[in-house]
Amino acid sequence: MSLTLAPPQKAAALLVAVGADAASSIMQYLTEQEVETLAAEIASIGRLHPDTVESVLEEVYQEAASQQLITAGGIDYARELLTSWKGSKGAEIIDRLVADLDVLPFGFVRDIDPEQLVHLLKDEHPQTIALILVYQPPSYSASVIRGFDPALQAEVALRVGTMGKTSPAVIQRVERALQSRLGNVSAAEVSVRGGVEDLAEVLNNSDRTTEKAILEKLATSDPILTEQVRALMFIFEDVVSLDDRSIQLVLQQVDTKDLAMAMKGVAANVRDTIMKNMSQRAAESLVEEIELLGPVRRSDVEVAQTAIVAAVRRLEEAGQIVISRAGEGDLVE
């Protein structure tokens, strides 16, 4: 006889049904308290009727499929499909998932190759492009912006940086239009994005050439916005703002050849800051490496500097170093 289970009992039944190995993998994503709660439920749940187990597995499958539909095609599309499949039960699943999910517009865009999206958007109005890109991961948006010509890059960057609230109707209209061009119509829920922080994040994930070109052109049209963006960014020359311990951690992550290339033509204060955080032998070796390089292309220098900045950002994300940014106040011990 099948039983009606409470949510914790359903979770326990699922872990029992999938077996020890799979259950162990799932529990790695849970908090210690959640694991303790599930362990107690598993211990007390006893033997389950096969119909009960099948019901739990079917519910998990339906919710997983529903979440995938929401992410790929939007809430309206998922509700329509699930309702036609499971009737009112499908609608209930969607409503429950929507209450728990932070669903962003233009989720389907991430499945498009950045180069294809460049081709698709290059003739669109910069405001439309900006609206689409602020809802994408910064690294993805950076890849798309890199493919535009410099003038369009600057126009899009300006609109990302100055974007405020956008009405749900406008977002849905742009989303539907884009999906219709892709042969798939749907809508999604709305949240507010755009602004200086989003633009800084996109540029932080861009290559140095794109970053410099955008900031230079942006400075001519909106100097104040440019300074606000710069204050939130970390560029190679900002290494001088790091404390000695942080610089030493960064140097441990960097290949000597990349460092030598990145140091070509840098300002004396940047060079001195890096050198003083190396052993005398390592510093001498670096100087020799720089001299051996001879004349190099600026693009190669910028690639190497971008790699080092990426190492800085990884260390910051891992909590191993702190980057002091304008407006954040002084650090305290």
Q: Which of 133, 237, 231 is nearest to 178 (CA)?
A: 133
Give the global pTM: 0.39
250's enclosing H/E stretch is: helix 244-252
pLDDT of residue 1: 40
> Half-sphere exposure of residue 305, counting CA atoms within 13 Å on the CB side?
26
Closest alpha carbon to 313 in 147, 138, 143, 104: 138
Beta strand residue intervals within 164-285, DSSP E: none
Select the more confidently predicted residue: 39 or 279: 279
Q: With the C-alpha atoms ordered 286, 291, 294, 296, is the resulting torsion angle positive or negative?
A: positive
What is residue 168's predicted lDDT score, i.e. its pLDDT? 77
Count the neighbouring beta carbons within 10 Å of the beta carbon of residue 308: 22
| 3-class SS of residue 313 | helix
Evaluate whether 107-232 and 236-317 have a shared fold: yes
Distance between CA atoms of residues 279 and 248, nearest Å? 10
Pick from 188, 182, 196, 186: nearest CA to 168? 188
Lowest mean pLDDT among 118-127, 133-142, 197-206, 307-316: 197-206
Which of the listed CATH numbers 3.40.1400.10, 1.10.220.30, 1.10.3470.10, 3.30.470.20 matches domain 107-232?
Answer: 1.10.220.30
Q: What is the pLDDT of residue 46?
A: 61
Please check the confidence at residue 43 and state whether its pLDDT lies above 50. yes
Length of the chain: 333
Q: Which two tokens stand for residue 275?
A: 């050198």
* Residue 209: pLDDT over 70: yes
Q: Is the dihedral of CA 131, 137, 140, 142 positive or negative?
A: positive
pLDDT tens readout for residues 234-293: 778 888 888 999 999 999 988 888 899 999 988 889 999 999 999 999 999 999 999 998
Q: Across residues 136-150, what is the average pLDDT?
A: 88
- Over residues 58-115, the pLDDT tens digits come to 666 565 554 554 444 555 555 555 565 556 655 565 555 544 444 567 877 877 888 8
What is the domain class of 236-317 according to CATH?
Answer: mainly alpha
Count of Cβ atoms closer than 10 Å to residue 250 Cβ? 23
Max avg pLDDT among 16-25, 233-242, 319-328: 233-242
Task: Write down the domain spans for the chain.
Answer: 7-100, 107-232, 236-317
d(CA 161, CA 8): 45
| Cα→Cα distances 259→43, 230, 283, 289, 307, Å | 56, 23, 11, 9, 9
Q: Is 172 left (phi over 0), alpha (psi -120 to 50) or beta?
A: alpha
With contact defined as beta carbons under 8 Å apart, do 141 and 205 qualify? yes
Q: 58 exposed, middle or buried (CB, 10 Å; 0-12, 13-18, 19+)?
A: exposed
